[in-house]
Structure 1
């Protein structure tokens, strides 16, 4: 059921109750969680936080807590699965779903009780939801009145009048149309508005928003854009909304300037360089490990490194300055860096090197860009996916990730930045080796590659956030490495990548990403993986909240890929 008034239909309903908050393990969900925690703190709401990795853990945690809690909030989980079917809750339990995964499950959307969906009412995705009458219809039984009359039953068995046949034809036609409508609706998976953005708008409507909450909303939106969940158009639309909130809060802070602490968070809007962690790294390292520049210069080749040196020379930046930490560069060079990069970018084929972004500053510390926060929190979160952490039931990295968001200057945020650098280095070296040895293959309707056990850093690849980031990095770099003719074709091909998931269980993680040419970021692999598994009876597990990520038994990989090629051809 769609919530029309989130303040009264959601918050005012739960603020006097004990609430269970289930949080998916992605940056956007954590940011939404931080905003919700702040709102609960204002009204002294009792709540329990539970991180959930996948559908199985969602079911497990629900079973453990369903006796103590009757109000359950789901952040970036549950929106695209039939909750009543998989959880079988009692009638006194209510779910409040704040989820950016699309498409929305139709049972959840049309359920008039128990499930309440918090969505944007002007959202295009809502307009795409089929009409209730086109997918749900009641039929009256022709034999209902004469069920106990044996004579009538016998006579009806032999009576095929025109009206009865017409009803059957109409019903069959309607059922075929229903299947077609549902298939069209569920064909692609994609992402809607950020969960953090939705919760922030709730805080704004309650007049309880502040700069901290705005920063979390900004980080949630940045996570969607940085991890290629949404296209540039959707991102810019969200940025414009956030910019309006920033201007309002800054104006309010100016009025209260005398009482404002020097250590309070200050947010600024800017057109920033799309370079990974450059304020916390050296410029040279950042250029080598950022997707736009690494793929444009082809830094995995000697010629690419030579072109990168030429690019720095064109800007008039000495190599000694570029290879030391950004904070130690000469002030004049730092101040002019953005204009220098922008001026030289076009000559070297760098497009969209700048983008609309926000940064936060606390006191006199260095500014933190929203994309840097996403890298940091994502790196901290990934450690939770290790086998040891799951076996021991430890949630320490979930807590660390939340803690890193508590303040812009939090020590855990700095720890995450260092971990993110290691991850980016692993991505760059792996991309280089994949392209050098020609490990990306064309399987007809899609490109395919696999991470082999024993490769350097291969353990990173069993983690969804890292694997998704690597996939986009690899696809961009591969397309850039081709000649013009092959490049045009490759731009329209999606990528499937496999990596070891659990060596002991003999399972592989598979992820599919849309082609570069598709700016909508709609992903067709969710349904394709499901049909391929059904057709081959492969032992797959569709546990992820993102349907384009599955796990599979190693022995079934070959026949699964064959079926996938057939389905997508």
Structure 2
């Protein structure tokens, strides 16, 4: 058995430890996909490796070509390398096609992409794949089929038949062989023929089962970051708020990008709720700074982490017991806004505009479950901006029309906020207004087709000098940092990695996320106004103009735009059209295009119940196979080596012919 069930993740880490013990230098290469979940999983893994003083090298990779290149330059020539770890990459292809598995080299794969390549999970003892439960529970028959195809001997039937006949004669010529067959006992001959027929039938069934497994399409399993948190727990790593928070962010990215369904996300929320309560109860007390009147009450220490619910109440604006105002002489970070304002002569944190009204929210660094509204980055700008640039609000109210914009203004008024209050920074709103916002939204949401405006999430507070963050805020910030910059995607990768622990970098990501939301919603609204999305017989097709080359030249922003357009049209179409898959195309360079295919997580192509996943259900994305088939028919210069098989690059001149081929396969 080369896959590891969820109770045996520690075996994978033991391989890493064993490899480092036999090497005098860096023995571990970590290949991490350039995505939010992989970065969160990487942060968890490196924390564990640093605790154990194990040297390692991090290599960001964007496609399979990057891995094969690293194999040629780093692995084959360096015998010190004993372990390769792949985070959110390599599970879907036979790892032996990517790297040279010499003796003494171990591979650990922690990848949420599915389906697994069966050679990785059932074949090579040098490869360990972390299973989220689907292999252990649902793939027993598939394993038997794979082993029958790979290990059984096709000549067994013939040899057993010949041996049975050989007992009745030893003629060596053709006639002798014929007599051996005809001279066989008739009943035994019939039995052998029936046995051979059953074996052939079973072999054909096994082949069809394996083919059906690979043909089901792509989907996602358990978050890489959640798997890494489970591994850390099994290795005895003391849980901290950071570790749990990184796992939450990784899983939240899957939910926001529609990689897992509601049921799968609910499993994660239940698990993370328990862990967040544990780390909150174990958080140390944080003393209040002494007030200037030196009163005894102001000097006392308070355990602000005693109640996760209190933190949740403070985040939602519900009143808490006592407000307080610490003084700025406790500010130490010179890059902090509060420090700069204190140097400028501001006497209190309240005057600096950096203080919340709750002492629990102000001082606690806990994590708490929260009810999140689908208003983009609500805590970091005004309610008006959060709603205007929310894909959810835009598609439900049709804000690309004058009627939709009027309904948005009316909704804000019915929430009980004036235009000035709606346009003010959300953190500066009075607690009673925040309380009213959540209550009123629950009451009138259904009138505006927003009964599902809220979902269960998590929030983390960074102290009174820093804004609170929800899991979705973190995901949006990291996605913004991963956008291609002048230094390339690798530069963005390490910025996102640093943002998980460095607030100034994270703040930069929040600012970038605001700009990205404006671009995504603005471009989507423009395309809907111009009716730029074509509805074909078997799919929808959207073309993004050349003027957006710098904005949507990466799969991160393009996927968000595709999800916005697909969901909007799905909710406003007939039943038959609502299930159509969606293809979006954006300029990558002057002569190349980036093509991305997305499928509705609900109502999309489904698979047999035996292939059902606990995180993605029965919905599958078949664009990977369709793209490959169309590319094969066309014979054009197409690059399809991304870890997400539903993404490819194609020459602009070949695209029209490519679409014609797609019509035949969808």
TM-score scaled to structure 2, two decimals? 0.76
Q: How many angstroms apart in 2 are the aligned matches of 1:157 and 1:557?
A: 61
Residues 475-515 of structure 1: CA distance to partner in whole angstroms, max 9, x if unpaired? 122234x4xxx4322321111111122325x3433333336
Q: How many angstroms apart in 2 are the aligned matches of 1:398 and 1:159?
A: 73
Note the 1:31-430 alignment, pairs <5 A.
Answer: 31-66=40-75, 67=78, 68-121=80-133, 123=134, 127-128=138-139, 130-135=141-146, 136=149, 137-141=151-155, 173-174=201-202, 176-186=204-214, 187-208=216-237, 209-253=239-283, 265-364=365-464, 365-383=466-484, 389-390=487-488, 395-407=490-502, 410-430=503-523
- SS where residue 382 of structure 1 aligns? coil
Q: How many angstroms apart in 2 are the aligned matches of 1:497 and 1:158?
A: 65
Report the CA distance shift for 1:156/1:204 in structure 2 as closer, same or farther (over 3 A). Answer: farther
- SS where residue 558 of structure 1 aligns? helix
Q: How many angstroms apart in 1 are the aligned matches of 2:14 and 2:444?
A: 54
CA contact (8 A) 1:189 1:524 kept: yes
Q: How many angstroms apart in 2 are the aligned matches of 1:153 and 1:487?
A: 73
Equivalent position of 1:435 in the other structure? 528
CA contact (8 A) 1:491 1:515 kept: no
Does the alignment pair 1:497 with 2:595?
Answer: no
Correspondent of 2:636 among 532, 538, 548: 538
Report the CA distance shift for 1:379/1:159 in structure 2 as closer, same or farther (over 3 A). Answer: farther
Note the C-alpha offset of 1:346.
1.1
Note the C-alpha offset of 1:47.
0.7
CA RMSD in angstroms comes to 2.9
Equivalent position of 1:513 in the other structure? 599
Note the C-alpha offset of 1:359.
0.6
Correspondent of 2:657 among 544, 559, 567: 559
Note the C-alpha offset of 1:226.
0.7
Q: How many angstroms apart in 1 are the aligned matches of 2:407 and 2:136?
A: 44
CA contact (8 A) 2:283 2:366 kept: no
- SS where residue 258 of structure 2 aligns? coil
Q: Which blocks of at least 5 consecutive residues in structure 1 are unaligned? A: none
CA contact (8 A) 1:32 1:195 kept: yes
Work out the number of aligned pairs and report it.
548
Residues 217-260 of structure 1: CA distance to partner in whole angstroms, max 9, x if unpaired? 00001100011111111101111001111122223336999899
Q: How many angstroms apart in 2 are the aligned matches of 1:426 and 1:460?
A: 8
Report the CA distance shift for 1:423/1:244 in structure 2 as closer, same or farther (over 3 A). Answer: same
Note the C-alpha offset of 1:95.
0.7
Note the C-alpha offset of 1:447.
1.2
Q: Which blocks of at least 5 consecutive residues in structure 2 are unaligned? A: 21-26, 163-170, 182-188, 288-300, 305-361, 605-615
CA contact (8 A) 1:510 1:552 kept: no
Report the CA distance shift for 1:419/1:125 in structure 2 as closer, same or farther (over 3 A). Answer: farther
Structure label with greater radius of gyration? 2
Q: How many angstroms apart in 1 are the aligned matches of 2:178 and 2:537?
A: 54
CA contact (8 A) 1:431 1:477 kept: no
Note the C-alpha offset of 1:74.
0.6
Residues 501-555 of structure 1: CA distance to partner in whole angstroms, max 9, x if unpaired? 2325x34333333365348442121222122222332332221111111222223
Q: How many angstroms apart in 2 are the aligned matches of 1:563 and 1:299?
A: 35
Residues 383-419 of structure 1: CA distance to partner in whole angstroms, max 9, x if unpaired? 26xxx645xxx73222111110014xx1111111111
Q: How many angstroms apart in 1 are the aligned matches of 2:451 and 2:374?
A: 10
Report the CA distance shift for 1:184/1:426 in structure 2 as closer, same or farther (over 3 A). Answer: same
Note the C-alpha offset of 1:265.
3.1
Q: How many angstroms apart in 2 are the aligned matches of 1:451 and 1:8?
A: 46
Report the CA distance shift for 1:404/1:559 in structure 2 as closer, same or farther (over 3 A). Answer: same
CA contact (8 A) 1:512 1:549 kept: no
- SS where residue 229 of structure 1 aligns? coil
Q: How many angstroms apart in 2 are the aligned matches of 1:160 and 1:379?
A: 76
Q: How many angstroms apart in 2 are the aligned matches of 1:125 and 1:296?
A: 41
Equivalent position of 2:13 in the other structure? 11
